[in-house]
């Protein structure tokens, strides 16, 4: 949009007065943020309304992304950037003596997601709008987002994330679009005399679902999509004589809290309720909108909408859509099923068995009696149809209902026309191993969509120094088409460019060093090698491997404090699920090791260890640009894709990583010589499983360095970790090291040594960094979302 600095200043001051009855000189940061966000909302609102009108009139197909998590972070700068007014607003505010970066701090992170899955959903929202694709989000408006992490005495403590306390300037409550979602009670079918069975219900619990719409503003275009988040409320006409206080509380609780488990499933009733709640509400709204805006009959709906099931949490979409078509719109089973399979598509985000949702039949039956009937019928019909075609073994292994449980992934695959993994390796594993039996039956449904990132946030917003160097070296086209970064390759031998890249990195490191000093009281040297691992704390991600290598460095320095070494700063950020004791033990150990090393005068500046608490999107925006090295060290086969690996690459960090997830595609794109690969391959891992011949105790007994490091966890070398150290020690020696940490340790050390050697040659290092940046184009989520649009949803971009 077009906006002059003068116009902006006028709008801003006027809004301060009209909204807060205050003049600029007396306004606090909250008020300034309130006025600014309100002005920005005003700027995009007419574009939003016009785009809604266009979508209704143009009759084009739209897709809906159903996700139990979204993780957008802050929206202010992203909205400003996408509207094309970031520089104007920064300048206007500066004229008024206000620093945009300071006001931006007032916005709480919107963290209604845990990690990878939720962040990907938000990258997709940004990219869809920015590429002009009509994709809408559908989720839950949790009153409390992902907990705030505090580190107290080295331990993780969880505090509530009350992110809505000061309101949310971006959202629009649309009470007129509220729908009812019902739970429990009894249901029976009665023949209506025309061959249709009509369900009758009694004793149902009714919940009102109220939508809150948040605009997803496209980058320098006229597309504004919608992220619809549902809040649960008590229906206004509820007869309180028949309801009790507990019901009222339960109803409000439904959209109260995000479950803080990442890649894990913990089978609680409230979670199942949440899943049905946003699924039913979202589908009802889609159908209402269809009826209100389309002339076509409901049987044509698959020409106009696509519904995407983001992992299994929204898998009830399959059964609920069937229910709505059959019960509400009186469509026959066969037609409804054909439509449903055409409309639905599904992404799998993990192969970890603990994440595969299976709900007890009894629970589904009592909470969702009509859906239960439908699921049973889907399963029965499919079994009857497939038995003669594929045989009992395949039918049985792929059944939706078996052993008293409802298998949500099976429901999602069977009820949709597309199943995809999120990186090549992961998609192959789904086909060849994890979902092989489904692949045998439905080979045409399986495909890969390698993840991507919303590059504008991770470069233009988060890394201004680098963005400036890029502009001045290859021009500005990369800002709207990340593939343009490839032009950078021809500057690989240009000393001036290499110098400028180094200077930009240094500036980012100074900024992070300042934050580390402010938050942790640790002074780090920005010329040191910044080695970063930021992601959820999970055993399979193997933060321990990193920790063991740090212990090795510590021992070496203690033995020879005056040797000439590369100074290193190891930076961690990680939240552990509150009930995941092992992960919390690792956090405690990292903090105690940090305390030990950072306070040892022998060690000095040679090695620092920093754990930054409350890792979230905003913190990532400061940490990742400053990294020299990104740690992507999961056990091969376990990390479906990873997306922080792409953010590091784009910011010129070199990857030390296993051949896992999207790391492989990153190494291929940047060149294996521009990263550091180590560790078992997925085939080697599967061979160990097949032959059951891994023995971690042997490694502990036979490798003196491993022995010494592990002993440090239990012999007092690392103070204050008696229980936690023991737990880790036992997991690796007595319980056979589930994620092969000890097996990969030597090779990891080798890769770390190669990395350190390379860092000593700053020219070679910066050239490798340049190659990473130049080849990051493929990992834009603009590319990914276009692939979904073309191959799965068949939706078209606005011209």
Give me the 113-152 binding string for ligand OAK, x by CB under 6 A, dash otherwise.
Answer: --xxx--x--------------------------------
Closest chain position to ligand OAK (CB): 116
**Is the CB of 11 or the CB of 311 nearer to ligand OAK?**
311
Q: What is the largest CA-CA distance in the chain?
A: 92
**Is the CB of 161 or the CB of 508 nearer to ligand OAK?**
161
**Residue tagged active-site, from 312, 398, 643, 733:** 643
Q: Directed axis angle between helix 116-130 and helix 76-83, to 10°? A: 20
Q: Which of residues 293-312 bind ligand OAK (CB under 6 A)?
A: 311
**Residue tagged active-site, from 55, 231, 349, 399:** 349
Torsion of CA 497, 503, 505, 506, to 10 degrees: 160
**Is the CB of 449 or the CB of 552 nearer to ligand OAK?**
449
Note if 541 is an active site residue.
Answer: yes
20 touches 35 (CB < 8 A): yes
Q: Is 592 in the site for ligand OAK (CB under 6 A)?
A: no
Note if 536 is an active site residue.
Answer: yes
Shortest distance (Å) from residue 320 CB to ligand OAK: 20
Of 74-82, 271-279, 462-470, 633-641, the window that binds ligand OAK (rule: CB under 6 A) is 633-641
627 three-class SS = coil
**Residue tagged active-site, from 55, 535, 608, 682:** 535
463 touches 435 (CB < 8 A): no
Q: Show Cβ contacts of residue 595 under 8 Å, excluding neighbours closer than 6 positions.
A: 154, 719, 720
Closest by CA position to 147, among listed 109, 105, 107: 109
**Is the CB of 115 or the CB of 282 nearer to ligand OAK?**
115
DSSP 144: B
Q: Binding residue for ligand OAK (CB under 6 A) from 643, 674, 752, 775? A: 643
Could you give the CA distance from residue 698 to residue 681 in angstroms, rounded to a whole number? 21
Could you give the CA distance from residue 417 to residue 433 in angstroms, rounded to a whole number? 20
**Is the CB of 148 or the CB of 349 nearer to ligand OAK?**
349
Q: Binding residue for ligand OAK (CB under 6 A) from 92, 642, 652, 657? A: 642
Could you give the CA distance from residue 165 to residue 590 in angstroms, rounded to a whole number? 33
Shortest distance (Å) from residue 105 CB to ligand OAK: 27
Shortest distance (Å) from residue 422 CB to ligand OAK: 4
Note if 424 is an active site residue.
Answer: no
Shortest distance (Å) from residue 577 CB to ligand OAK: 11
Give me the 667-706 binding string for ligand OAK, x by CB under 6 A, dash otherwise.
Answer: ----------------------------------------
Shortest distance (Å) from residue 348 CB to ligand OAK: 8
What's the burial of 240, exposed, middle or buried (CB within 10 Å: 0-12/13-18/19+)?
exposed
Q: Binding residue for ligand OAK (CB under 6 A) from 126, 531, 613, 639? A: 639
Q: Binding residue for ligand OAK (CB under 6 A) from 641, 651, 772, 781? A: 641
Shortest distance (Å) from residue 57 CB to ligand OAK: 35
Could you give the CA distance from residue 612 to residue 516 in angstroms, rounded to a whole number? 7
Burial 325-363 (b: 16+ CB within 10 A, else e): bbbeeebeeeebbebbbbbbbbbbbbbbeebbbbbebeb
Shortest distance (Å) from residue 268 CB to ligand OAK: 15
DSSP 73: B
Could you give the CA distance from residue 616 to residue 146 in angstroms, rounded to a whole number? 9
**Is the CB of 210 or the CB of 534 nearer to ligand OAK?**
534
Cross-strand pairs, 460: none
Shortest distance (Å) from residue 119 CB to ligand OAK: 7
Closest by CA position to 317, among listed 325, 211, 269, 206: 325
What's the burial of 595, exposed, middle or buried (CB within 10 Å: 0-12/13-18/19+)?
middle
**Is the CB of 614 or the CB of 632 nearer to ligand OAK?**
632
Q: Which of residues 406-465 bind ligand OAK (CB under 6 A)?
A: 422, 451
Q: Which of residues 323-362 bind ligand OAK (CB under 6 A)?
A: 349-350, 355
β-pairing, 305-310 vs 401-402, is unpaired
**Is the CB of 454 or the CB of 513 nearer to ligand OAK?**
454
Cross-strand pairs, 607: 568
Closest by CA position to 662, among listed 368, 389, 451: 451
Q: Binding residue for ligand OAK (CB under 6 A) from 127, 263, 284, 416? A: 263
Q: Is 262 in the site for ligand OAK (CB under 6 A)?
A: yes
**Is the CB of 422 or the CB of 654 nearer to ligand OAK?**
422
111 touches 769 (CB < 8 A): no
Of 471-479, 639-647, 673-681, 712-720, the window that binds ligand OAK (rule: CB under 6 A) is 639-647
- Binding residues for ligand OAK, total number by CB under 6 A: 18
Strand locations in 218-356, DSSP E?
224-233, 305-310, 344-347
Shortest distance (Å) from residue 423 CB to ligand OAK: 8
**Residue tagged active-site, from 55, 323, 505, 541:** 541
State both tokens at 528.
């040191």
Burial 158-185 (b: 16+ CB within 10 A, else e): beebebeeeebbbbeeeeebbbebbbee
Q: Is 659 in the site for ligand OAK (CB under 6 A)?
A: no
**Residue tagged active-site, from 457, 538, 647, 783:** 647
Could you give the CA distance from residue 516 to residue 509 in angstroms, rounded to a whole number? 10
Could you give the CA distance from residue 483 to residue 477 in angstroms, rounded to a whole number? 9
What's the burial of 719, exposed, middle or buried (CB within 10 Å: 0-12/13-18/19+)?
exposed
SS3 labels along 298-312: HHHHHHCEEEEEECC
329 three-class SS = coil
**Is the CB of 261 or the CB of 383 nearer to ligand OAK?**
261
Shortest distance (Å) from residue 261 CB to ligand OAK: 7
**Is the CB of 661 or the CB of 777 nearer to ligand OAK?**
661
State both tokens at 276.
């049905």
Note if 581 is an active site residue.
Answer: no
State both tokens at 356.
């595969």
**Is the CB of 168 or the CB of 634 nearer to ligand OAK?**
634
**Is the CB of 263 or the CB of 591 nearer to ligand OAK?**
263
775 three-class SS = coil
Shortest distance (Å) from residue 118 CB to ligand OAK: 7
Strand locations in 27-99, DSSP E?
62-66
**Residue tagged active-site, from 456, 479, 536, 568:** 536
DSSP 629: E
Shortest distance (Å) from residue 648 CB to ligand OAK: 13
Q: Binding residue for ligand OAK (CB under 6 A) from 640, 699, 792, 795? A: 640
Shortest distance (Å) from residue 58 CB to ligand OAK: 31
Q: Show Cβ contacts of residue 681 under 8 Å, excluding neighbours closer than 6 positions.
A: 636, 659
Closest by CA position to 549, among listed 493, 631, 469: 631
Q: Which residues are catalytic?
A: 349, 535-536, 541, 643, 647
Residues that bind ligand OAK (CB under 6 A): 115-117, 120, 262-263, 311, 349-350, 355, 422, 451, 639-643, 661
């Amino acid at each position: 949009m077009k906006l002059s600095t003068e116009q902006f200043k006028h709008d801003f001051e006027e809004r301060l007065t009209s909204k807060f009855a205050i003049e600029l000189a007396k306004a606090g940061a909250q008020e300034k943020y309130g006025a600014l966000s309100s002005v920005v909302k005003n700027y995009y609102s007419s574009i939003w309304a016009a785009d809604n009108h266009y979508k209704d009139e143009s009759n084009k197909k739209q897709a809906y992304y159903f996700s139990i998590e979204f993780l957008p972070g802050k929206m202010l700068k992203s909205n400003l950037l996408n509207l094309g007014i970031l520089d104007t607003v920064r300048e206007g505010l500066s004229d008024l003596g206000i620093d945009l970066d300071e006001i931006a701090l007032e916005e709480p992170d919107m963290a209604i997601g845990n990690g990878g899955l939720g962040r990907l959903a938000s990258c997709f929202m940004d990219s869809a709008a920015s590429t002009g694709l009509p994709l809408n989000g559908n989720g839950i408006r949790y009153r409390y987002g992902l907990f705030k992490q505090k580190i107290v005495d080295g331990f993780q403590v969880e505090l509530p994330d009350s992110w809505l306390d000061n309101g949310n300037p971006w959202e629009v409550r649309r009470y007129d679009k509220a729908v009812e979602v019902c739970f429990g009670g009894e249901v029976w079918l009665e023949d209506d005399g025309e061959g249709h069975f009509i369900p009758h219900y009694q004793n149902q619990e009714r919940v009102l679902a109220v939508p809150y719409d948040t605009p997803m503003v496209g980058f320098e275009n006229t597309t504004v999509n919608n992220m619809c988040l549902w809040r649960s409320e008590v229906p206004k006409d509820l007869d309180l004589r028949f309801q009790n206080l507990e019901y009222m509380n339960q109803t409000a609780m439904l959209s109260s809290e995000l479950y803080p488990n990442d890649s894990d499933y913990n089978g609680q009733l409230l979670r199942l309720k949440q899943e049905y709640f946003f699924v039913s509400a979202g589908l009802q709204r889609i159908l209402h909108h269809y009826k209100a805006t389309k002339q076509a009959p409901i049987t044509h709906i698959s020409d106009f909408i696509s519904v995407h099931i983001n992992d299994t949490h929204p898998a009830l979409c399959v059964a609920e859509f069937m229910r709505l078509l059959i019960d509400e719109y009186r469509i026959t089973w066969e037609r409804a099923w054909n439509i449903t399979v055409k409309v639905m598509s599904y992404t799998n985000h993990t192969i970890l068995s603990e994440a595969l949702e299976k709900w007890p039949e009894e629970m589904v039956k009592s909470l969702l009696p009509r859906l239960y009937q439908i699921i049973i019928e889907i399963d029965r019909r499919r079994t009857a149809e497939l038995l003669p075609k594929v045989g009992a073994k395949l039918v049985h292994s792929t059944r939706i209902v078996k052993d008293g449980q409802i298998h949500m992934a099976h429901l999602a695959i069977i009820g949709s026309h597309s199943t995809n993994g999120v990186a090549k390796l992961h998609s192959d594993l789904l086909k060849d191993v994890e979902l092989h039996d489904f692949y045998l039956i439905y080979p045409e449904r399986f495909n890969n969509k390698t993840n991507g990132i919303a590059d504008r946030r991770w470069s233009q917003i988060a890394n201004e120094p680098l963005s400036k160097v890029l502009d001045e070296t290859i021009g500005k086209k990369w800002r709207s088409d990340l593939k343009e970064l490839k032009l950078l390759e021809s500057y690989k031998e240009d000393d001036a460019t290499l110098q400028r890249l180094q200077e930009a990195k240094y500036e980012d490191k100074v900024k992070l060093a300042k934050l580390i000093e402010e938050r942790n009281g640790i002074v780090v040297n920005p010329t040191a090698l910044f080695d970063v691992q930021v992601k959820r704390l999970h055993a399979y991600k193997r933060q321990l491997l990193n920790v063991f290598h740090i212990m090795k460095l510590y021992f070496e320095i203690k033995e020879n404090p005056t040797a000439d070494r590369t100074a290193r700063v190891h930076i961690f950020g990680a939240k552990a699920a509150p009930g995941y004791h092992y992960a919390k033990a690792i956090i405690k150990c990292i903090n105690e090791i940090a305390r030990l090393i950072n306070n040892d005068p022998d060690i000095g500046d040679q090695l620092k260890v920093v754990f930054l608490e409350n890792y979230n999107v905003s913190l990532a925006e400061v940490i990742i640009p400053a990294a020299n090295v990104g740690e992507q060290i999961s056990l091969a086969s376990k990390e479906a894709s990873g997306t922080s690996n792409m953010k590091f690459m784009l910011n010129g960090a070199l990857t030390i990583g296993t051949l896992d997830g999207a790391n492989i595609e990153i190494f291929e794109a940047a060149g294996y010589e521009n990263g550091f690969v180590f560790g078992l391959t997925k085939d080697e891992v599967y061979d160990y499983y097949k032959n059951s011949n891994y023995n971690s105790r042997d490694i502990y007994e036979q490798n003196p360095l491993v022995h010494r490091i592990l002993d440090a966890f239990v012999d007092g070398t690392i103070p204050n970790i008696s229980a936690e150290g023991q737990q880790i020690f036992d997991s690796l020696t007595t319980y056979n090291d589930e994620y092969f940490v000890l097996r990969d340790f030597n090779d990891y050390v080798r890769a770390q040594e190669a990395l350190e050697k390379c860092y000593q040659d700053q020219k070679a290092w910066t050239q490798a960094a340049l190659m990473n940046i130049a080849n990051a184009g493929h990992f834009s989520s603009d590319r990914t979302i276009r692939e979904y649009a073309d191959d799965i949803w068949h939706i078209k971009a606005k011209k």
